Amino acid sequence: MDTLHESHFPHTPRPMTDQIDTLLTEQRSFSPDASFQEAALGAADLYAAASTDRLAFWADQARALDWITPWKEVLNWTLPHARWFDGGQLIVAANCLVRLLHGPRRQKAAIMWDGEPVDRRVYTYWDLAREVGRAANALKTLGVTKGDRVAIYLPMIPEAAIAMLACARIGAIHSVVFGGFSAESLRDRINDAEAVALITADGGYRRGQVVPLKRFADEAVVGCPSIRDVIVVRRVGGGEGGASETFASMTEGRDHWWHRLLEHASADCPPEPMEAEDILFILYTSGTTGAPKGIVHTTGGYLTHTTATTKYVFDLKDEDVFWCTADVGWVTGHSYVVYGPLAHGATIVMYEGAPDWPDRDRFWSMVATHGVTVFYTAPTAIRAFMKWGPSYPAKHDLSTLRLLGTVGEPINPEAWIWYHEQIGKERCPIVDTWWQTETGGIMITPLPGVTTTKPGSATKPFPGIEAELVDAQGRPMAGGGGFLTITSPWPGMLRTIWGDDQRYQETYWSRFPGRYFAGDGAKLDEDGYWWILGRVDDVMNVAGHRIGSMEVESALVDHPSVAEAAVVGKAHDLKGQAIAAFVILKEGQTASPSLRDDLRDHVVGKIGAIAKPEDIFFCGDLPKTRSGKIMRRLLKDIAEGRTLGDTTTLADPAVVSRLKEMYGEE
């Protein structure tokens, strides 16, 4: 296979229309908006500056932060290991909080938070700094020191951001685990990082129900020898000794209530100076093996990248109210809920619950209530809004909005247009931003006021980012379909995989030697615009959540009835992809609807509800190559009801046609 064509990316979402066709024929374009001229003036120069001297450009961006010791070298690059701003020292908390504290803006709102049951809290920068100081001191009293790992397993409550910043303040490395993951996933992540403390909550609210996080945490922690302390935020429980005990039974000596610890802690906690290359956080993400990878991000480069992109992609001004709807359990929540916007002294909105609770207009009611000006969400959410219809946004005043963004998966042009018309009222530019957990910050994106946008295209690399399309042999391509690679290091890039540098080298740098390969296929059009076509490896994107096929397969074969399993993502109207599993049962086991339910529950218990298979298909055989590799591509064809692709490399081509017939009958 020399080049890739759209037909190799069958899993790009195809809601409402056939996206592949639409992509091919998409001719609409939207000129930069004149109201962003000021942004344009600054940003147009950026491209020129970055192409003249990339390192000088990034050094300029780094200078926007407060450093206590200047760096000696902008970049030290020994492929594939980068050190950015080596020798420099900075204080993360100073950059994210203290900047506003000594001026008239210290009472500016930092976080405007809505709980799902319609409770509300506002933290000014002053409040936030004091809470972070207290939480940092609380961690210190528990003996947490620089370089220790702290796991955070919280709902979307302000304490999640406070906990992250408190870790940064004392130089502890945080590892946030999304609250939708199961006890077992939490345990694996804690053990891989050997975290010494876990910060969790008695529970959180989701669609009116309590998610009992502390119970999951208890289940996880019994298998975590490194954990000394568990700190529990009281979110769902009432007063002391009240209903909280229903959700949180506290283990003497190990468990501490957050509010009790903070009550006695001083708000004054001298921050730990950080070397530019000190680790700021680890964030686990799925790859092509069963075990998630601990992506390592360091301090100076990451903050530089997130701060620069926040500034230019979202055009953030002092008076903006920025709402990125991502959960802090994902990288988007790290970079564009917490670090990027707070380093700008921005006002952010945070929301705990579901977009359809208590009704389907929750997001729009919050936009109106908080006067949100810049709104950043995922295509899967937009497709849900589209399905629910325009009456929900129409009920609210969305006139404060001035810029919209998307992230997480390819956006089909029809959803882009709907977003533009129904939410942006044809006034707001849309920034479709491509990036990954590994890249730390936005890599390919339009700049408002500068870039002509085309619905469905992430447009061009951010200044200072060098991307190149290559064919299967790694030869650069001027256009057409191929593999998206990055050809030079960037400040926010991952530095390694926690505890497994070999895997880091192999996963990202070996497919195309000398290049970072992101795992995505893409198309480059005649104007040099990037159209991201989705993953070309065995990683699925389910409702914007990244899940490895192998992870779900491992969870399935862990069930006593299962002999073998193969898992693929199949196109889904709302989620982009849904999980389809092909399962071979052990001798003597019989397929039944109750076993199917049992297998679904088993996967939820092993990974979390986000990995629940939509289809489970029992079969007697799986299509394999002569060397025994399962051909997931063909299974995807079957699950999506497409004509089968090339079957000539199969050990037994009859297997796949049999499967196709049977699948069609189910």
Of residues 410 and 613, the one with the C-beta less far from ligand PRX: 410
Distance of CA 15 to the CA centre of its chain: 22
285 binds ligand PRX (CB under 6 A): yes
519 binds ligand PRX (CB under 6 A): yes
Of residues 298 and 380, the one with the C-beta less far from ligand PRX: 380
Q: Tell me which of 435, 498, 504, 516 binds ligand PRX, using CB under 6 A.
A: 435
**Binders of ligand PRX in range 317-376 (CB under 6 A):** 331-332
Q: Tell me which of 408, 446, 482, 491 binds ligand PRX, using CB under 6 A.
A: 408
Of residues 393 and 441, the one with the C-beta less far from ligand PRX: 441
Of residues 441 and 464, the one with the C-beta less far from ligand PRX: 441
Instruction: Report residue 91: phi and psi, to 5°.
Output: -120, 115
Instruction: Report residue 73: phi and psi, to 5°.
Output: -140, 135
Q: How far is the CB of 435 from ligand PRX (least distance, A)?
A: 5
Non-local (6+) Cβ contacts of 46 within 8 A are: 57, 312, 447, 463, 464
Residue with tokens 């009116």: 208
Of residues 75 and 384, the one with the C-beta less far from ligand PRX: 384
Q: Please answer whether residues 518 and 486 qualify as being in contact, where contact means their C-beta atoms are separated by less than 8 angstroms.
A: yes
Q: How far is the CB of 536 from ligand PRX (least distance, A)?
A: 9
Q: How far is the CB of 515 from ligand PRX (least distance, A)?
A: 15
Q: How far is the CB of 539 from ligand PRX (least distance, A)?
A: 7
Q: Please answer whether residues 421 and 28 qualify as being in contact, where contact means their C-beta atoms are separated by less than 8 angstroms.
A: no
- Using the contact rule CB under 6 A, the part of the chain among 54-62, 433-441, 492-500, 645-653 near ligand PRX is 433-441
Q: Please answer whether residues 406 and 430 qualify as being in contact, where contact means their C-beta atoms are separated by less than 8 angstroms.
A: yes
Q: How many H helices and E strands in the chain?
A: 22, 31
- Using the contact rule CB under 6 A, the part of the chain among 63-71, 428-436, 490-498, 503-511 near ligand PRX is 428-436
Q: Residues in contact with ligand PRX, total (CB under 6 A)?
A: 22
Q: Please answer whether residues 75 and 82 qualify as being in contact, where contact means their C-beta atoms are separated by less than 8 angstroms.
A: yes
Q: Which of 109, 567, 570 is nearest to 347 (CA)?
A: 109
Q: Tell me which of 32, 115, 355, 410 binds ligand PRX, using CB under 6 A.
A: 410
Binding mask 489-518 for ligand PRX (x = CB under 6 A): -----------------------------x
Binding mask 522-541 for ligand PRX (x = CB under 6 A): ----------x-xx-----x
554 binds ligand PRX (CB under 6 A): no
Of residues 451 and 541, the one with the C-beta less far from ligand PRX: 541
520 binds ligand PRX (CB under 6 A): yes
Q: Please answer whether residues 623 and 586 qualify as being in contact, where contact means their C-beta atoms are separated by less than 8 angstroms.
A: no
Q: Which of 340, 381, 397, 422 is nearest to 576 (CA)?
A: 381
282 binds ligand PRX (CB under 6 A): no
Element (H, E) at 503: helix 501-509
Q: Cα(544)–Cα(542) distance, rounded to whole angstroms?
A: 5
Q: Which of 602, 643, 636 is nearest to 622 (CA)?
A: 636
Q: How far is the CB of 89 from ligand PRX (least distance, A)?
A: 29
481 binds ligand PRX (CB under 6 A): no
Q: Please answer whether residues 293 and 507 qualify as being in contact, where contact means their C-beta atoms are separated by less than 8 angstroms.
A: yes
Q: Which of 626, 621, 623, 602 is nearest to 612 (CA)?
A: 602
Q: Cα(497)–Cα(189) distance, rounded to whole angstroms?
A: 13
313 binds ligand PRX (CB under 6 A): no
- What is the secondary structure of 220-269 as a DSSP string? HHTT-TT--EEEEE-SS--STTSTHHHH-PPPTTTEEEHHHHHHTS-S--
Q: Which amino acid is at 92?
A: V
Q: How far is the CB of 590 from ligand PRX (least distance, A)?
A: 38
Q: How far is the CB of 491 from ligand PRX (least distance, A)?
A: 16
Q: Which of 122, 121, 145 is nearest to 197 (CA)?
A: 145
434 binds ligand PRX (CB under 6 A): yes
Q: How far is the CB of 404 from ligand PRX (least distance, A)?
A: 13
178 binds ligand PRX (CB under 6 A): no
**Residues in touch with ligand PRX (CB under 6 A):** 285, 331-332, 407-410, 432-437, 458, 518-520, 532, 534-535, 541, 546
